[in-house]
Amino acid sequence: MRILKFVLLAFVLVYLVPAGLAVAFWYAGNHPSSWRDADWTSAKLLPPASAARDAAVYVFAARTGGLKGAVSEHSWIVVKDEGAPSYERWDKVGWGSPIRRNAYPPDGRWYSNPPRLVLERHGEATKAIIPAVRRAIETYPFAMQGGYHIFPGPNSNTFVEHVLRNVPGLRTTLPPAAIGRDFPSDGRFAEWDGDRGDLRLSILGYAGVAAGATSGFEVNILGLVAGIDPRRLAVKVPAFGTYALLAA
């Protein structure tokens, strides 16, 4: 009984308190009343595509709209071929055409929320993996109409994480607040990601554990992720994200 009380107390303090605070902060802020009122324009984080000849791959994330924005982010992928005059953006959304190409500016705001850069790769090595990025996008198993579920997934973050897991060289993981990233797009309970050096266990995104060189140690409960990353001297706070003393 004492152990059960300790587990419940830990769950409340580690998961429910941060989530409750995030919701309170969200209510205290100013947010667009609908997608029509939101700002979707470029945040000017990327230079003009014509200004740099190098091939490039980017991953962005931004708080999403509505109350779910209190605890969750939306992520997307941006690709630029060597010498290309424009960027190519890919999102998975829950309305209209499920996987959208260039529906928004590559570094656009999402429901008025500014994006932040999760991953950036340039150069010859990146040029070599861009075909694999496109193959991973084309083979995403939930690309059809109806292949989107806000929780536990598959959703926009499941799509981006699927690409990251299937393209060697994109050695990163989505932020803890990217709910849906832990939904196993391949349906497996356990996965060893050799490129990122991570072991992942997931019960269809409802709960799971990740441990390794890239993720550190994470526990996912109902989409909320808590954890530590000793390599970066970082803590991962549910609904808020990662707070690190060292750069990645």
DSSP lists the bridge partners of residue 23 as: none
User: DSSP letter at 9?
Assistant: H
Of the pLDDT bands very low, low, confident and very high (cuts 50, 70, 90), residue 248 is low
Helix 156-166 and helix 124-138: axis angle, to 10°? Answer: 130
- Write the pLDDT tens digit of every residue in 23-68: 999 999 988 988 889 999 999 999 999 888 899 999 999 999 989 9
- Write the pLDDT tens digit of every residue in 166-213: 999 998 989 999 999 999 999 999 999 988 999 999 999 999 999 999
CA dist 85 → 46, 50, 101, 136 (Å): 13, 5, 16, 23
Spans of all domains in the chain: 9-244
Neighbours of 112 (CB within 10 A): 18
Tell me the percentage of the chain whose pLDDT exceeds 70: 99
Residue type, 133: V
Q: What is the pLDDT of residue 94?
A: 81
Q: Specify burial of residue 195 (Cβ count, 10 A radius: 0-12, 13-18, 19+).
A: middle
pLDDT at 125 over 80: yes
